Structure formats: structure tokens, C-alpha cells
Structure 1
Amino acid sequence: MENRFKTQFVDSKRGDFAHGPVVTISRECGCTALNIANIMVEKLSAKTGNQWTCLTKEILEHSARELNLTPSKIEYVFNSKEKSTWDEIFAALSSKYYQSDRKIRKTIADVVRGFAKKGNCIIIGRGGVVLSQDIQRSFHIKLQAPLDWRTEQLQKIYQLSEEEIHKYSSEIDKKRELLLNFFNKGPVPDTFFDVIFNSKNLSEETIAEASIHLMEMKGVLGKQIVMG
């Protein structure tokens, strides 16, 4: 994978439509994206004759390698945490591998952009919907569901009370929103997404199949079309 997706970073200038195809999946906490992405990878690989890949933790690992750091050293950025001024000073003085928040975020953005422009990949979270908006051969999915249903899904994984699950879910959703807003330099509207699915009412297989059908209708998998 390292060789296949070796990233040549590019400037994210508007109007560059020559790369992709890429799919991004954003989701509310409790809506599972990985199974949908894996189903789509298998179906898209068979349909297009090109090997597709699902990317999530790989972006963190690749970004860390670019910065000569371990993934744990930059993971806080994905959690939308900021270093204090004193943290910055202490880190700069105590480590020759110190990197600023700004450089880390820029590297993450470049890595996501690099994968997106290489194409044939599905990016889960990581700001992908914002960072690949100007790629015409892109398709952006959002998964959402009622809070009570998402709570039930999370309680299958975590042995927490309903109140604790609500708090956890709210915190995760807020962190994801903050990261998107940072990359977008403002709130991300629903119009950034091509489709929004209710995970409560639709199976993972149905969402995957419907997404691929819509990708074909939009022209993501074939000849590029200009959407009027």
C-alpha cells in the first residue's frame, strides 16, 4: 500500500478536476462506516477493474511518517485538541522532533488530498469531505440516525449507561465537527454531501449499492460530466 499510495503532495487549487475517483464517508457517532466502505471497495474493484482501498487509520500513520513522528504524537489533532502556548514551548525545547499544530494539520490535509487525487479510495472521516470538494470525480456520503438508535448501537460495544453514551456520542460528534470546520474555515453545510443516509432504516448493503448507483449517475466512475 505504501508504494501504491505514495503521495505527491499537490496544491489544492480550485478548478483541478483531473484526479480521483474518491469517495468520502462522514458519520454521526454510532453510525458504522467501515463495513459500508469495505462492501463498496469489493464492489467497486470488481466493477471498475481497479483495486480500491478503504483509508482511515492509514492517513494518521502516513501523516506521522511524513513528520517523522509516531501516530500517537499527532492523534490529538484528529480529536480537535489544541496545545497551549506553554505546551508548544516545552515541546519545542524538549524534542528535536517537535512539530507545530499548524504543520501537523497541513501535513494531514496534504496526505488526505494526496490520497484523494490518486483516486480509487474511500476515505472515512479525517476531513475528507472538505479536502476533496474540488475534485469533480468525488462522491460524498453522510451517515446519520436518531440518537436513541445510535445509543443502542454504541451500547453493544461499550458497557456504559445511556447517560454516559449520550455524553460520549456528543463529544465525538463535536470533535469531528470541529476538525471539519477547521479545514473548511467555517461550518460545513449539508450541501457538501451528495447523499445523506439514515443508518437506522437502511442496511449497510443497501447504502453501499445505492451509493455506487448514484456514483455512476453522477459520472464519478466513467466519463466526467459537468453537473449543472
Structure 2
Amino acid sequence: MNNILLKYMENRFQSKILDPKQGIFCEGPVVTISRECGCTALNIANMMAEKLTAKTGNKWTCLTKEILERSAKELNLDPVKIEYVFNSKEKSTWDEILGALSSKYYQSDRKIKKTIAEVVKGFAAKGNCIIIGRGGVVLTQDIERSFHIKLQAPLDWRANQLQKIYNLSTNEMIKYANEIDKKRAILRNYFNKEPLPNTVFDVIYNSKKLMDEHIVDTSINLMELKGVLGKQIVMG
């Protein structure tokens, strides 16, 4: 199933962008979801994709690991080899030198991040997708038909949610949540060139106070009001 989905997304990516000769403008629509650690986004994204597919008549897709897999394929690398970037780790100078000397498939941190950015923008330009994390909120700001969501909640509540998954102490989960939040911010800030302000988001939800379905329904309503779901423009 994963291979079928990846193949489908590859075909969409390859035919992705604007052909000036044809005069077709087809960027978006795209939704990005950023979240604090402990605020689950996948259920919201899947529910939103299902409802948007029914509403628009176009197939909507959730993207998270597909971005990693597609980026790795573009670089001719195993996904494991670039996953460290999403964990906000960097190679040391010595690692860079050894890697360059020992492998013809070596790629620098900068090249990997550049490829990730291109993949995210490619998927977003084709449209009808919901991007979870991966710096999507920064990389799609220039797409007019875009909608950007942030999920947040009190730290103690998020730690409690994480305990249901990891079965560790509250203090351990608080420490873990803070570490993950910092790592995610590092990647976003790298693409943004500076700390990312909350003003880039269209809406910020408190996951503690709202049910997933309420978040989805409210977001779709706001997308309609904003014109994100409007018809694509064909020029010429």
C-alpha cells in the first residue's frame, strides 16, 4: 500500500508545476499542519483529506513520510541516510570530509535540505495535499491558495498524552516534548532564515479544548471563506 501511494505521489510530483508555454496556473490548494509535540496531527489530517475529497471531488492526500522517501529518491540515498535532518542534527566537518571521500552518493547537509524544500514545494504546487510538519508552513507561504494550521496545548496536557504512548514519567515526557519542539523549530527556522512568528499561521488551535472533528470542520469552513478551495485559474 505504501509503495502504491509513493508511486502515485511521484507521478504527481513529476508533472507538478507550471508550464509557461501552456499558460496554466495550478499552485495549490495546500494545507500545512504544524504541531507542538503531544498534539496529534495525523488523525486530523486524514479526516480533513477525506472530507475535502468529498467536498471538492478531487483526491486529497496526507504527506509526511512520503516527503522523506521522495527526497531520498531524488538524492539516490536510503531514507535512513537523510532522516537525521528532520531530527535537526548536522554532520560535523570531519563527517562531511569522510562522507565525500568514501561514497559517490555522498550529499551535503545543504544539498539534502535544498532537495527537501524542492520536494515539499513540488507537492504543494500540484495541490490537493495536507503536509504535516517538514517545514511545510515556511516553504508554501508563497502559494496563494494555502491554509496554515498550528496545534498547541499546555505542556502538562501534552506530556499526559505522550505518556499514553511511551509509558514514561511525566517529567520524562515534559523533557521529551521540549526537545522535540526545539528540533522542529530548528528545521522551520532554517528554511525561514529566522525564528518563525505565529503570524504565518491562519489559525492556531488548542488541542486540549477542541475535538479533532471540530478542528477539521472549522478549518474547512475557513478555507472556503478564504477562497482556498476556489477553482484553479487557467490563463490564456
TM-score range, shorter chain: over 0.9
- Specify which of 60, 65, 77 is matched with residue 69 of structure 1: 77
CA contact 1:7–1:111 (8 Å) conserved in 2: no
Q: Does 1:85 pair with 2:89? A: no
Residue equivalent to 2:181: 173
Where does 1:102-117 land on structure 2 (aligned, <5 Å)?
Answer: 102-117=110-125
CA deviation string 1:43-86 (max 9, x = no partner):
00000000000000000000000000011000011111111000
Residue equivalent to 2:203: 195
Structure 2 gap ranges (5+): 19-24
Where does 1:203-214 land on structure 2 (aligned, <5 Å)?
Answer: 203-214=211-222
CA contact 1:24–1:139 (8 Å) conserved in 2: yes
CA contact 1:7–1:115 (8 Å) conserved in 2: no
One-letter amino acid of the counterpart of residue 103, structure 1: K
One-letter amino acid of the counterpart of residue 123, structure 1: I
Where does 1:41-190 land on structure 2 (aligned, <5 Å)?
Answer: 41-190=49-198
CA contact 1:9–1:110 (8 Å) conserved in 2: no
Q: State how far apart, in whole Å, the 1-side matches of 2:13 and 2:26 are.
A: 18
Structure 1 gap ranges (5+): 12-16
CA deviation string 1:95-146 (max 9, x = no partner):
1110000100000000000000000000000000000001000000000000
Give how far 1:10 is off: 6.6
CA deviation string 1:20-56 (max 9, x = no partner):
0000000000000000000000000000000000000
Q: State how far apart, in whole Å, the 2-side matches of 1:5 and 1:26 are.
A: 23
One-letter amino acid of the counterpart of residue 77, structure 1: V
CA contact 1:8–1:114 (8 Å) conserved in 2: no
Q: State how far apart, in whole Å, the 2-side matches of 1:79 and 1:32 are.
A: 18
Q: State how far apart, in whole Å, the 2-side matches of 1:209 and 1:134 are.
A: 25
How many residues end up aligned between the 2 structures? 220
Give how far 1:162 is off: 1.2
Q: Does 1:220 pair with 2:228? A: yes
Give how far 1:9 is off: 7.3
One-letter amino acid of the counterpart of residue 6, structure 1: F
Cα 1:131–1:8 change in 2 (3 A) is farther
Cα 1:30–1:218 change in 2 (3 A) is same
Residue equivalent to 1:5: 12
Q: State how far apart, in whole Å, the 2-side matches of 1:119 and 1:138 are.
A: 9
Q: State how far apart, in whole Å, the 2-side matches of 1:24 and 1:112 are.
A: 11
Once superposed, which parts of structure 1, at least 4 consecutive aligned residues long, lie more than 4 Å away?
8-11
Higher helix share: 2
- TM normalised by structure 1 equals 0.93
Residue equivalent to 2:33: 25
Q: Does 1:38 pair with 2:46? A: yes
- TM normalised by structure 2 equals 0.90
